Structure 1
Amino acid sequence: MKIRAKGFTLIELVVVIIVLGILAVIAIPKFINLSQDAHDATAKTAFSSFKTGVSLYHSCWLASGNSGYVKDLSCYGEGDIDSSATGYPLGTDTATSENGTKLHGSYCKQVWQGLLDEEFTLAMHTTDGAQDPFVKGNDILYWYSGGNISDPDTYCYYNYIADDHQKGSENWQLKYFPGTGETSVGKGALSFPQP
């Protein structure tokens, strides 16, 4: 009795490879879009939580009967966030804020960490002689523009770069104005660190 070995023919293997190739061409773009959708949702959720935190902080400041700069507002969170002169969160160590009227870059990180419990890796968007901030592992780049909170062009900005670390790419961006409590979310590009 002769036993015949069974296996795939060359034609069958080629057909299977072609079918797998077609499936990969169809599935990979859908997977990439799902990945981007997840990043978009993460950024929008974090920025929405930040906006809610700003609102709650200001409500606490108003309900406490405060006016002007308050150090360590006790009714919000752990009671360690200082207010701007207008009652919005400014930072946790604002001794150099001239009674809540000046914004510094370090305050932006302090506000983010004071309002949100989410685990994001924040990196400063500056040229301080250290490393390039546009590297994998950094989720959000932050810094500020302006100085006096009464100036309408003074704000903290936070760019979500976890989805694309290339300089010049458009990422979700949150701008926070500590003078008015306004937040705006949109797409923005950061191409090089600010001086």
Structure 2
Amino acid sequence: MKFKATQQQQGFTLIELVIVIIMLAILAVIVLPKFINLQQDAHVSNVKGTGGALASGIGLAHIKWAAMGNSGPADNLQIYENAGVGGQLDMNLWGYPAQNYPPFESSPRLNNTNDCISVWNTILQDAPSVSTIVNSTASEYRVTYINPDQCRFFYNKLNTLSIYYDSRNGKVITDSDPNS
């Protein structure tokens, strides 16, 4: 009985290579867009995190206002201990932060961009920079005042992202849809 030596195939056929290349191309078309949007996703996460911190701070200030037995406006309420005037907030008639100014005011209201900035900087102790300028080198957020008693903070690096604050009910809404 004779055994024939069979020759082993060494490499890939042209058809196998073409199939692998097509599969890699399909995979790249599906996966690549997810990696391209990483920077945009980082901006969205940044705004969501800042909005969440603002909402938590507003809620905690309201709870402290209520726990101290307040039922109307409160001037220079110490929100953060050991922070001096920088940790005080003037609470409006609904018990939500309206401004941070040391002089006494009998019925403080959030009624301009400076009030919005003062609430932002007091609630967020190490706050991202905020100004009234649309320029990402000037500040991270641009503030606008909405009459009555409301603020919107636009993220300067991606202007379709924003954080809204309504001092009449303490609502904080993070608009994190970059395509809106």
**TM-score, normalised on structure 1?**
0.64
The runs of 5 or more residues in structure 1 that have no matched partner are 1-21, 126-132, 148-153, 165-169, 190-195
**Is 1:172 the equivalent of 2:148?**
no
Rounded to whole Å, the distance in 2 between the matches of 1:188 and 1:28 is 21
Rounded to whole Å, the distance in 1 between the matches of 2:165 and 2:50 is 13
8 Å contact kept, 2:131–2:138: no
**Is 1:85 the equivalent of 2:85?**
no
8 Å contact kept, 1:156–1:177: yes
Report 1:118-137 matches (<5 A): 118-125=126-133, 133-137=134-138
**TM-score, normalised on structure 2?**
0.69
CA RMSD between the two structures: 2.9
Report 1:1-195 matches (<5 A): 32-77=36-81, 78=83, 79-93=87-101, 99-125=107-133, 133-147=134-148, 154-162=149-157, 164=158, 170-187=159-176
8 Å contact kept, 2:162–2:176: yes
- Please state how far the C-alpha of 1:55 moved relative to its aligned partner: 0.4
Match in the other structure for 2:8: none
Runs of 4+ in 1 over 4 A off after TM superposition: 25-31, 94-98
Q: Which has the higher contact order (CA 8 A, sep 6+)?
A: 2
The runs of 5 or more residues in structure 2 that have no matched partner are 1-24
Q: How many residues align structurally?
A: 147
- Please state how far the C-alpha of 1:105 moved relative to its aligned partner: 1.3
- Please state how far the C-alpha of 1:80 moved relative to its aligned partner: 1.4
- Please state how far the C-alpha of 1:74 moved relative to its aligned partner: 2.1
8 Å contact kept, 1:174–1:186: yes
Query: What is the SS of the residue equivalent to 1:120?
Result: coil
State the percentage of identical aligned residues.
Answer: 24
8 Å contact kept, 2:75–2:105: no
Per-residue Cα deviation, 1:16-56 (whole angstroms, up to 9, x for no partner): xxxxxx9xx98986554111111111110010010000000
Query: What is the SS of the residue equivalent to 1:41?
Result: helix
Match in the other structure for 1:129: none
8 Å contact kept, 1:144–1:155: yes
Match in the other structure for 2:18: none
Question: Which has more radius of gyration?
Answer: 2
8 Å contact kept, 1:90–1:111: yes
Rounded to whole Å, the distance in 2 between the matches of 1:95 and 1:177 is 23
| Distance change >3 Å, CA 181–CA 99, structure 1 → 2 | same
